[in-house]
């Protein structure tokens, strides 16, 4: 379970490579990106690869399971990066402290070697809804009240994201998750949010909490709670299930 990043079930040993998930998160991201059609047409992929815009992934509730260092994070998401270049932004109260807290990246990547192309763009230790720069005037309704037009908003935005992921979140267990999820869909209305869980039961509980927190017209489910074949081997949660065993995805209706 995670309180927008707080985890009592996740592994704490960052030095043991056997404890680092090198497959489940990367494959889950890649499967979601394909399902959401965020990639270019597969048939043209190799010929057009140098024209790819980088995939921008936001990890909500991140902790050392997404990498204690930038090198670890890049290893964890390497398999996805071999498919498409990506920037990973880690935000959560348990994000391990490093000397670098932010690094700007180019929207294009010149490295398409077999080693892949994954970079850590941001690493911020906080709850997402308490993040610096996400002030109340950053939501769509309050931007309108402030009289900020689209061009001004684009200049104001430091970073946009293609998709957000909350791995093994335990949304049902912590009220703070709903504050972070609400701020995410209001701040980035075109950004799908993928939530994973240790079991179908927990994923369905997460879904129930999301439905209770949002009005029907505010969000829509791209897919409801279902099994995820790209689960990991580590276990946790209420039912001692395998991580990322189930997942769901929703997005703001205002982004259409």
pLDDT tens for 1-23 read 445 544 433 434 334 445 678 89
Question: What is the pLDDT, as a whole number, of residue 236?
Answer: 87
> What percent of the chain lies above the pLDDT cut of 90?
58
Q: Which domains, ranges and CATH numbers included, belong to the chain?
A: 19-40+51-255 (3.40.50)
Contact 52, 85 (CB under 8 A): yes
CA 31 to chain centre: 13
Phi-psi region of 72 (alpha: psi -120 to 50; beta: other; left: phi over 0): alpha
What is the Cα–Cα distance from 62 to 100, expressed in whole angstroms?
16
Over the stretch 153-193, which tens digit does the pLDDT of each residue have?
Answer: 454 444 689 999 999 999 999 989 999 999 999 999 999 99
Q: What is the model's pLDDT at position 78?
A: 94
The pLDDT of residue 21 is 82
Asked whether 129 and 179 are in contact (CB, 8 A), the reply is yes
pLDDT at 240: 79
Listed in sequence order, the DSSP H helices in the chain are 24-35, 70-76, 78-81, 140-146, 150-156, 175-187, 200-213
Task: Locate 172 and state its tokens.
Answer: 């049902």
β-bridge pairing 219-227 and 246-252:
antiparallel
* pLDDT < 50: residue spans in the chain: 1-2, 5-17, 41-51, 101-115, 135-138, 152-153, 155-158
């Amino acid at each position: 379970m995670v309180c927008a990043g707080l985890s009592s079930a996740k592994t704490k040993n960052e030095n043991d490579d056997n404890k680092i998930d090198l497959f489940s998160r990367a494959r889950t991201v890649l499967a979601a990106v394909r399902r959401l059609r965020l990639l270019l047409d597969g048939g043209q992929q190799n010929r057009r690869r140098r024209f790819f815009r980088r995939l921008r992934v936001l990890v909500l509730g991140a902790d050392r399971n997404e990498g204690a260092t930038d090198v670890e994070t890049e290893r964890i998401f390497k398999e996805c990066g071999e498919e498409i270049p990506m920037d990973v932004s880690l935000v959560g109260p348990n994000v391990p402290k490093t000397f670098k807290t932010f690094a700007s990246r180019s929207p294009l990547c010149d490295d398409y070697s077999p080693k892949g192309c994954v970079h850590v763009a941001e690493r911020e230790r906080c709850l997402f809804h308490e993040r610096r720069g996400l002030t109340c005037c950053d939501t769509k309704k309050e931007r309108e009240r402030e009289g900020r037009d689209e061009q001004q908003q684009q200049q104001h935005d430091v970073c946009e994201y293609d998709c957000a992921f909350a791995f093994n979140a335990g949304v049902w267990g912590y009220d703070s998750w709903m504050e972070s999820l609400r701020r995410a869909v209001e701040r980035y209305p075109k950004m799908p949010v993928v939530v994973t869980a240790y079991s179908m039961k927990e994923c369905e509980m997460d879904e129930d909490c999301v439905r209770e927190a949002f009005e029907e017209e505010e969000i829509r489910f791209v897919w409801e709670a279902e099994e995820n074949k790209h689960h990991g081997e580590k276990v946790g949660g209420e039912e001692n299930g395998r991580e990322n065993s189930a997942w769901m995805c929703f997005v703001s209706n205002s982004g259409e």
